[in-house]
Amino acid sequence: MKDLPKPYLTGHFTPVTDEITAHELTVHGTLPPELNGRYFRNGHNPKPGVTPGHWFRGEGMLHGVRLAGGRAEWYRNRWVKTPFLDGVPFTGTELEVSAAATNIIFHGGRYLALQEANLPWEVTAELDTVGVYDFGGKLTSAMTAHPKEDPVTGELHFFSYSPFPPYLTYHVADASGQIIRTSVIDGSGPSLMHDFAITRDHAVFINSPVVFDHSEHSGIPYKWHDDVPLRIGVLRRAGDTEVTWFEVEQGAILHVTNSYVDTEGRIVLEGPRYDRSSWENSWKWWTGAPGYGVSPDAGSTFHRWILDPATGTAREEALDDLATEFPSINDAHTGSYNRYSYAIAFPGAGLDGYSTVKFDTVTGRQQLLGHGRDRMPGEAVFVPAEGGGDEDDGYLLTIVSDLKADASQLLVLDAGDLATIATVELPRRVPAGIHGHWIEDHK
């Protein structure tokens, strides 16, 4: 029997084969005048003829849209020119060999393309590759693709994880990009630790049952192990190195929504949770193994964990039953209480297509924006409205892949009610991607 094509090379995820630039894009509706900056998004885009064994192993490609003065000035896409690309000369270390294909951030005056097994790669404001970046030689381990910027201090909190000791190292860079803290964290294990969280006073780490395993040959050597519990570790940011670990119901967490301390002094963590079945079904899609489903997410659902340092106890609750992933919030609330969050809702649990969903954790209400047949949205990136006061007073930016039209649009949505404010026509279909950010001009 002929092997089926890898799902991450087909449909919404079909890679593009070249780099282009287009100017003065068509806009339907009216772009908010305060949107002056760049929306950058990263994702796996294997080169023609390359079939990685895992979705996460594809070469990195950046897509960018520049908005200013109510105009969409340009679109461009560029591969991150790392040693993963043929013909790129390189004499560095293994730590520097990265696909740089998961996220892109701006901190300390630098645009950094990230993939968690390696060092960052710096790019320009026009998405041209500068080179590997190690914080002036101070970063000697890998960097997570999901650092957290403290909206109050401007510090960047991040970590590296490894299948070998030390399993977990925690770093903090100040607002200028200088590393001011590096601490080896005890009590961790060889877990796949894709994301973490901060509160105003804590760093929150995740040890899942997905751990290093030599028998996994997809290129991402991790597997679910029933004998390994899900543990959530809480570290005080004020110079401590001792983590309090809370064992909770078996499950896995790939991305977090947010974490904060509630009025009773308990640490609250929210995000999509996988049980074993949903994790392994998703893994089949990510690797193209027999029996994979129709989308990269096969059932993670919005969940909350409440951790009490005073008693050492934890409790948890399901917040919704939609299959969701790629959560986001108003980043001004990172580490503090948030009421609203946003995510992609996947087919299943009563949905026959993709939607953007808004959750209200006070009322339990969900708002859904269905994108129509053969259309898949990306992660929703929040941008605050000028002079806005409420948490959801702002805009959501998301790139939608339209298979039928073989095209893509950048949507600007009202974060309050998910109404479409403006649509930017992009010059090509952009493959469904991973993570990105809005970067204002004044930065």
Tell me the binding residues. 146, 194, 255, 435
1, with CB counted inside 10 A (0-12, 13-18, 19+), is exposed
Numbered residues of the known binding site for Fe cation: 146, 194, 255, 435
Residue closest to 315 by CA, chosen among 232, 382, 381, 378: 232
What residues does 315 pair with on adjacent strands?
306
Helices marked H in 5-60 — which ranges? none
**CB of 397 within 8 A of CB of 352?**
no
* Tokens coding 194: 């894709």
Which token pair is 145?
Answer: 């693709």
**Cβ proximity of 115 and 102 under 8 Å:** yes
Torsion, CA 47, CA 53, CA 57, CA 62, rounded to 10: 40
Residue 414: how many CB atoms within 10 A of its CB? 16
> Position 84: which residue type?
F
* Residues in contact with 69: Cβ distance below 8 Å, sequence separation at least 6, in sequence order: 33, 36
Checking DSSP bridges between strand 27-29 and strand 381-384, what pairing results, if any?
Answer: unpaired
